[in-house]
Amino acid sequence: MDKRVVLITGGARGIGRGVALNLAEAGWAVAICYRTSQQDAEEVQHTIEAQGGKALAIQCDVSQWNAVTDLVQQVEGAWGRIDALINGAGPYHRVHLFEETPEGWADMMRNNLDSIFFLAKAVAPGMKTRKYGRIVSFGMANADKMEAQPYVTAHYIAKAGVLILTRTLAKLLAADGITVNAVSPGFIDSGSSPPEELAGMVKKIPAGYIGNIQDAVQAVRYFLSDEAAYVTGANLHLSGGWGI
């Protein structure tokens, strides 16, 4: 798995950052993109480079097609290829459905679903040429249940769409040696949720505890590994039993 190139969206913080640092330790050249977290992204880049690795930190709004094509061209221009794409960017907000704005609805769709389509479309030609590729996207642990979600409706629909898009891409790209899979976390202590909120959720998790960033890193590493070469279109629940 060494000497490969990975592009990670949302790689400046949380799970994306954890994956970036882990893959850099394993010898991967790591490109992360960020929208607003420039300082955090540059810190990740400097950490990797200080340890002798290769890293890029690129500002990009992945909800925009033209920006995505520029991003992919920059990474391929620097290192010649992209072997793996990790779709880690996926913001959400809590708002009652009837208080949601058209702009807020569209933002959830663009950043959680459209971006994955754009990125897959942009990286697929190079992967198909090389007959190798790995695409991993992040879903939501209970999105496959299609439950009513009055306060995160748009985000939830987008995450259900991620699963459909994952399976569709997997079917279309399997013959080219490209696998496409999803990791669907439940409650992970990634720094994005207040500790008191996470503590309140423990009683709802069958395993009895909150997951951590390393749990997510290992799930991604499995899908990137040669051992998972025949696994595509899968959705791995990472939730300690919550949401199933």
Nearest 10 degrees: CA dihedral of 155, 40, 238, 115? 40
**Is residue 223 within 8 Å of residue 139, measured between CB atoms?**
no
Quick one: pLDDT at residue 2? 55
Residue-wise pLDDT for 31-70, tens only, equals 999 998 899 999 999 999 999 999 999 999 999 999 999 9
* Joined tokens for residue 117: 């389509």
**Is residue 102 within 8 Å of residue 154, measured between CB atoms?**
no
**Is residue 62 within 8 Å of residue 9, measured between CB atoms?**
yes
Domains with residue ranges and CATH for the chain: 5-238 (3.40.50.720)
The whole-model pTM stands at 0.95
Quick one: pLDDT at residue 195? 74
Let me know if 222 is a catalytic residue: no
DSSP 165-226: HHHHHHHHHGGGTEEEEEEEESSEESSSS-HHHHHHHGGG-TTSS-EEHHHHHHHHHHHHSG
C-alpha 210/C-alpha 239 separation (Å) is 8
Mean pLDDT by 10 residues, the chain (244 residues): 86 95 97 93 97 96 97 97 95 94 97 97 98 97 95 96 98 98 93 76 92 96 98 97 93
> For residue 235, how many other CB atoms are within 10 A of its CB?
17
Quick one: pLDDT at residue 80? 96
C-alpha 199/C-alpha 75 separation (Å) is 40
Catalytic residue among 34, 132, 156, 230: 156
